[in-house]
Amino acid sequence: MPKNVFVIGPDAFNLARLEELSRSGAVRFHPLLRYEDVRGAHYPLEALLDRAESEVRSFEGSIDGLVGFWDFPVSDMVPILCRRLGLRGPSLEAVVKCEDKFWSRLEQRKVIADCVPRFCRFDPFEEAPASRVDLEYPFWIKPVKAWRSQLGFRIRNEAELHEAIGIIRERIGRFSDPFNRLLGLLDLPRGIPMEEGSFCIAEEIIGGRQCTLEGFSLDGEVGIYGIVDSIRYANETTFSRYQYPSDLPADIQARMIEKSRAVVQFLGLDNTTFNIELYYDEKRDRIWLLEINPRISQSHSVLFDKVDGYSNLRILADVALGNLPDRVPGRGAFRYAAKHFIRHFEDAQVAAVPGEEDIRALQEEIPGTLVDIHVQPGMRLSELHEQDSYSYELGFLFVGAEDRRQLLERIRRCEERLPFKLEPVAG
């Protein structure tokens, strides 16, 4: 009989991928809660946990696994619900050690100090928060808990610091209030207060060639199954595309894998998937660790499917069920694949978006292309949730190709063929 795996809050795009896997494999995926419940403007964590548990317990078949692929609150709901339901999953403490950017840096420094930039924590609500930052300009600031680069700012001078702190004060409650309630479930170490989510972290600027390493930890054994390059726009803050497989030299990839295994095992992150964002600084021949996410990157699922014929959504289920992934690299339809973000860098009113016929014509011209549109006519870009601090995401597309040059040409062609119409807004 197929195993039943519950997935918290899948969006329509990933739900379609899960339904395909359910039809073709020994696993049946079941959506648990709606996407809007877990990715909205507010996060009623306690109510979501109770609703999810009730929904699972009412299922009449076997309950074999529970997973998620979003950041907070989903990433933290998974260990809590797995414990309640007696399912395989990570510990809540290990997950939070990854997600709390300050606590995570403290732990990382104990085992891979050479990969950790200088950092400090400060309270954005105190009278003179800038006095707590002992880094030279430029540096990054961000809440200790946020996601998708929200409320993250590259700070070049004192004026930018004060402006960013003002914005953070106004908006941080959306993240800090539910995260602080979550911290109440843990026995926190000295130096991590119950109101930790209300703090920010400042970090030394790190750079180089950015990538994301994806892996899993199963019964104490850490496996790595892919490295994806992260390509940014010229502003050095906003992602342009994710590209797989990585073009980094094999010896650099091996060093990254060694560092990643060490920190995952040290954190006690087990029986889960993870992704780790890294930089390779070619000038100094140094590897930097940006952050650890205790989940797959759903952004990469189609990339692995196109190149390896084995999506990381399948790996997510494998690990939840206690099985080693039966994956052989390079068995997909393409040698290279990319997820490209279609962005706009100023606020605007959406007048028109590509229709089904536009997308179908594009797919006939470039087979294997997938398109997901995030905006609708009449929408104002500044009203979108979960955007980075410098751009607005209109949608994204997945493209496969036989080489890097063809990949870039196909991305360019796709953007030409997708007729977005944006109008300026007053003020």
61 belongs to a structural domain: yes
Query: What one-character-per-residue DSSP string does 164-214 give?
Result: HHHHHHHHTHHHHHHHHHHHTTS-PPTT--TTGGG-EEEEE---SEEEEEE
Q: Using the 8-state DSSP alphabet, how is residue 299 labeled?
A: G
pLDDT value, residue 427: 62
pLDDT value, residue 127: 92
387 belongs to a structural domain: no
296 belongs to a structural domain: no
* The amino acid at 341: F
Domain of residue 54 covers 3-87
Dump pLDDT digits (tens) for 171-194: 999 889 999 999 999 999 999 999
Q: Do 72 and 140 lie in a common domain?
A: no
Domain boundary among 204, 219, 248: 204
Closest CA to 315 of 212, 213, 214, 211: 214
141 belongs to a structural domain: yes
pLDDT value, residue 55: 98
Q: Is 358 exposed, middle or buried (0-12, 13-18, 19+ CB in 10 A)?
A: middle
Residues 73, 75: Cα–Cα separation, whole Å: 6
Contact 315, 297 (CB under 8 A): no
- Number of domains forming the structure of the chain: 2
Q: Which distant-in-sequence residues (6+ apart) come within 8 Å of 16 by Cβ? A: none
Provide the residue-wise pLDDT of the chain in tens; the chain has 427 residues. Answer: 899 999 999 999 999 999 999 998 899 999 999 999 998 777 889 999 999 999 999 999 999 999 999 999 999 999 999 999 999 999 999 999 999 999 999 999 999 999 999 999 999 999 999 999 999 999 999 999 987 778 899 999 999 999 999 999 999 998 899 999 999 999 999 999 999 999 999 999 999 999 999 999 999 999 999 999 999 887 666 889 999 999 999 999 999 999 999 999 999 999 999 999 999 999 999 999 999 999 999 999 999 999 999 999 999 999 999 999 999 999 999 999 999 999 999 999 999 999 999 999 999 999 999 999 999 999 999 888 777 778 899 999 999 999 999 999 999 999 999 989 999 987 6
Residues 203, 180: Cα–Cα separation, whole Å: 22
Dump pLDDT digits (tens) for 350-362: 999 999 999 999 9
Report the phi/psi class of residue 386: left, alpha or beta, with left for phi > 0 and alpha for psi in -120 to 50. Answer: left
Domain boundary among 64, 87, 110: 87
21 belongs to a structural domain: yes
pLDDT value, residue 236: 64
37 belongs to a structural domain: yes
145 belongs to a structural domain: yes
243 belongs to a structural domain: no
Contact 335, 328 (CB under 8 A): no
CATH number at residue 130: 3.30.1490.20
What does the block give as tokens for 128?
Answer: 């003179």
CATH number at residue 28: 3.40.50.10700
Measured in whole angstroms, how far is the alpha carbon of residue 101 from the centre of its chain? 14
What does the block give as tokens for 269?
Answer: 């992150």
Domain boundary among 177, 204, 231: 204
What does the block give as tokens for 345?
Answer: 């860098």
pLDDT value, residue 147: 77
Whether this model's pTM surpasses 0.85:
yes
Q: Do 67 and 134 lie in a common domain?
A: no
Q: Do 125 and 199 lie in a common domain?
A: yes
Report helix, strand and coil shares of the chain as percent, to nearest 5.
Answer: 40, 25, 35
pLDDT value, residue 9: 97
